[in-house]
Amino acid sequence: MLLEWRIAQVRIAAFIGFISIYFMSFDTSSLSERHDRAEVYQPVIIRLENVSKIYGSGETIVKALNNVNLSLKKGEYCAIMGASGSGKSTAMNIIGCLDRPTSGSYYLENLDVSTLPDGDLAQIRNRKIGFVFQQFHLLPQMSALENVMLPMIYGGVPPQERKERAIAALTRVKLDNRLHNKPNQLSGGQQQRVAIARAIVNQPILLLADEPTGALDSKTTQEVMAIFSELNNSGITIVMVTHEADVARHCQRIIWFKDGEVVYPNLAPTDLPIMSA
């Protein structure tokens, strides 16, 4: 009887040990904790496949882009860099649906926009893409608020909603105290912030900036770049063309063009001193 009791004790202990090991193999943390540790999947928002762009004809052919393959994920903050004539501006024009590739395909949110008619491309630009340029392109006779409302007029947004969204966009760039100022009453940095507000007022999925700090001093450049970082932190995908290493270092990824090709698709900001030398 005693022997049988001893055997039963051993079996119970073994079973308890097995159960302990079994449950210890599971992650007992909460679902939210596991989600925080997991890498968040981000879909590809931009994809260029074998994209080439040729200008001219006959003996005056210029191959601005040569078989470019490139992809960007939603929420990325990228700088496109390279020497003059490297193809970076041509790539930006194609990404912004301002131009079409001569060959190859460009997918925006998995839609091949390479062959869409002009009217469809105009709608995509108005609804999905915001543009910021080196020159501010503000209408001088209009106030900051009126300039920001312009894209929504073309988009058919009702007047009251236009005003509310424009005020919200100007507030995001810290210009809610300059709503009724005209461009000549604003500094260069303030005008660029109005241009940024205009670019984001339609809540685009993609913000394209072509040398956005080229006309600004160093202090104002830092202020504008801080706004871009805040916008990216809110989830907007940003692609910026710049020749300034100090500006590109604000980005997460640098894409380097040379002679119409992507030679470095995934540079880190710390690589820039070498590349800029």
| Strands 206-210 vs 129-133: parallel, antiparallel or unpaired | parallel
Q: What is the pLDDT of residue 5?
A: 46
Domains and CATH numbers, the chain: 76-85+123-276 (3.40.50.300)
Cα(263)–Cα(265) distance, rounded to whole angstroms? 6
Q: What is the pTM of this model?
A: 0.82
Q: What is the pLDDT of residue 137?
A: 95
Q: What is the pLDDT along the chain (277 residues), one digit of tens a residue?
A: 544 444 445 454 444 443 333 333 334 344 344 344 334 678 999 999 999 999 988 888 999 999 999 999 999 999 999 999 999 999 999 999 999 999 999 999 999 999 899 999 999 999 999 999 999 999 999 999 999 999 999 888 999 999 999 999 999 999 999 999 999 999 999 999 999 999 999 999 999 999 999 999 999 999 999 999 999 999 999 999 999 999 999 999 999 999 999 999 999 998 886 554 4
Cα first-last separation, the chain: 87
Q: What is the pLDDT of residue 146?
A: 98
Q: Which residues of 110-125 are buried (b: 16+ CB within 10 A; e: fewer)?
A: eeebbebeeeebeebb
Query: Amino acid identity, residue 92?
Result: M
Cα(15)–Cα(20) distance, rounded to whole angstroms? 9
The beta-strand segments (E) located in 96-231 are 103-108, 111-112, 129-133, 206-210
Q: What is the pLDDT of residue 25?
A: 38
Cα(97)–Cα(118) distance, rounded to whole angstroms? 9
Q: Is 128 within 8 Å of 200 (Cβ atoms)?
A: no
Task: Quickly list DSSP for 147-172.
Answer: HHHHHHHHTT--HHHHHHHHHHHHHH
Nearest Cα neighbor of 129 from 44, 211, 233, 239 is 239
Q: What is the pLDDT of residue 275?
A: 53
Cα 67 to Cα 62, 118, 137, 175, 177, distances in angstroms: 14, 24, 33, 43, 48
Beta-bridge mates of residue 49: 105
Cα(19)–Cα(95) distance, rounded to whole angstroms? 57
Cα(226)–Cα(230) distance, rounded to whole angstroms? 6
Please write down the long-range contacts of 222-228, taking CB distance under 8 Å and 24 or more positions apart.
Answer: 223/189, 224/189, 224/192, 224/193, 224/196, 225/250, 227/172, 227/173, 227/174, 227/193, 227/196, 228/77, 228/196
- Judged by phi (left if over 0) then psi (alpha if -120 to 50, else beta), residue 64 lies in alpha
Q: What is the pLDDT of residue 271?
A: 87
Q: Which residues of 211-237 are buried (b: 16+ CB within 10 A; e: fewer)?
A: bbbebbeeebbebbbebbeebbeeebb
